[in-house]
Structure 1
Amino acid sequence: MSQGDAHVAPYSRRERLRIATIREIKGVARMLLVQEGPENVTIRAIAREMGMTAPAVYRYFSSRDALILQLRVDIFAEMARQLRSVIEELPREEAARRLIEAARALRVWAIKHPHEFGLILGPWAPGLGREETKPERAMGWVFGSVFAELISELWRVRGFPAPKEDELDPRLVRQLTSMSAGHGVDMPVGAIAVMLRCWARMYGVVSMEALGHMSFALAEGRPFFEFELRGLCSVLDIEEFYDEPAG
């Protein structure tokens, strides 16, 4: 056998079994999240579903918190991939349309995956009401970077109305400057403030619909989402690119 014919497995059999077991544990955890709610995603419940003992599951995840953290990492990455797949269907020069369609894709994903959305960006997300850890901030940026890149591209291509730095509270300026440096957001602080305003507004309406907090007023949330999306387009001076969604 020539050297070129030799095949060396990238992982040993034991490593492959470990990877498969970790994948199965996370799959069961997500099933429990969707079917029974986050409070029922426990090591004991996962072990029961898999026909394992709880101590055996702990060999793969040192704690429930460690498992939930990894589940959140996976879900953040999945959502980011979904948004990027929508964005990449549009030409890079169409920054406004890419932003509009990304917002719509976020809503669609959240409506289809309300339990997962609640775990990473809703009331079940670790970190809400307290200081987040570095891993939690990092995983959030995997997703946040999608919209930061879109709005940065919009700023580069055509700009949008934004306050001057001296019109902002100095404390806000310091935080926005730190964010710009830490995440490589190449915009003036006033533009970053507008970006965060738009994100807060869009996240708010998506979150309320996905988690059922708009049902008291609206039987179907898309018309109100589109009303808000058009308002965001006005804030960013791209209303001319807004079209009513098909269907």
Structure 2
Amino acid sequence: MTEPATAPLRARERARAELMSELLAAARARLEAEGSAALSLRAVARDLGMASSAVYRYVPSRDALLTLLIIEAYDAVGQVAEQAAADARELGPAQAWLAVARAVRRWALDQPYSFELIYGTPVRGYRAPDDTVQSALRLWQVIIGLLMEAGGDGILDPAGPDFDPAGRMAPEAYASAGFTDPSTVPDDVARTAIRSATLFTSLVGAISVELFGHLHRVAEDYARFFDVTIATAAAGVGLRISLD
């Protein structure tokens, strides 16, 4: 008996979802053509054949649209990393990290404008809201999970320097792991956080120099050069990767 009342609502929900999908697709196309700094709701509305006032009913501002694209990109790379880690789990954490890094690189080369949006130059005047944090953490959680697995297996053998972890990570980094007071963070947890940041920065850096053309006349085989970069940084934090 309720179907006649709920059917129009479901139809509206489907129509809204379809419009949002089209809107995001148009925004991605604009992002690729003009870059994030030039993104505007008016241009996206024009591409969809809609009045800009109609688009504002779905997305209230340019920044809100950027946030949707950023969350989408973070979720995409997070999903890629999670799947790669799961597929390579039997190889052990070190080789799984190489598999994750390779998968993220493939994603970045296939989606360079999405990579640039989340890991490139910040958009002037835009401040990412907390809504983006959970999606941004997905890749970090993969990295931390692999380091914790390696530590639990007793195979971490850092080639890098020994260090005092105190004061090296921002309090917000520990807050995301449930530690509201940085002084209560155990040293082993702090070291894992710092090592995860090392792996993250080596991954983003290795992809960035390739994507933005800084390896021209430097590397002969970009994929093999990337593997060596990732393996060298990983050895510093204790993951010994075998390259074949």
Question: Do the two structures share a fold, i.e. TM-score over 0.5?
Answer: yes
| Greater Cα offset, 90-99 or 14-23 | 90-99
Q: 1:136 to 1:142 in 2, by over 3 A?
A: same
Distance in 1 between residues matched to 2:121 and 2:71, nearest whole Å: 17
Instruction: State the Cα deviation string for residues 53-79 of structure 1 (Å, max 9, x = none).
Output: 111111100001001101111111111
Query: 1:221 and 1:9, CA in 2 relative to 1: closer, same or farther beyond 3 A?
Result: farther
The separation in 2 between residues aligned to 1:173 and 1:54, in whole angstroms, is 43
Provide the TM-score with structure 1 as the length reference: 0.80
State the partner residue of 1:65.
63
Counterparts of 2:31 and 2:165, CA distance in 1:
41
Structure number with greater CO (CA < 8 Å, separation at least 6) is: 2
Aligned residues: 235
Asked if 2 retains the 8 angstrom alpha-carbon contact of 1:38 and 1:124, the reply is no
| Structure-2 residue corresponding to 1:197 | 198
Residue in structure 2 matched with residue 84 of structure 1 by the alignment = 82
Q: How does 1:198-237 map to 2 (within 5 A)?
A: 198-215=199-216, 217-218=218-219, 220-237=221-238
Cα distance, 1:180–1:161 mapped onto 2, change above 3 Å? farther
Indicate yes or no: 2:43 matched with 1:45.
yes
Distance 1:198 1:46, change over 3 A: same
Q: Is the 8 A contact 1:107 1:206 kept in 2?
A: yes
Unaligned runs of 5+ in 2: none
Structure 2 residue identity aligned to 1:230: A
Aligned-partner Cα distance in 2 for 1:11–1:162? 57
Long gaps (5+) in structure 1: 2-7
Q: Secondary structure in 2 aligned to 1:52? A: coil
* Per-residue CA distance 1:168-227 (angstroms, 9 max, x = gap): 2632267365454359x9952123222212222222111221233333634652232122
Percent identical residues = 24
**After superposition, what is the alpha-carbon deviation per residue over 1:107-154, rounded to whole angstroms, capped at 9, x for unaligned?**
1111221111000111145799xx753223333113322222222222
Distance (Å, rounded) in 2 between the aligned partners of 1:140 and 1:209: 22
Q: Is the 8 A contact 2:77 2:107 kept in 1?
A: yes
Change (3 A) 1:174 1:49: closer
Where in structure 1 do 4 or more consecutive aligned residues deviate above 3 Å?
8-11, 124-128, 173-180, 216-220
Alpha carbons 2:165, 2:190 under 8 Å: kept: no
1:143 aligns with 2:139: yes
Structure-to-structure mapping, 1:74-113, within 5 angstroms = 74-92=72-90, 94-113=92-111
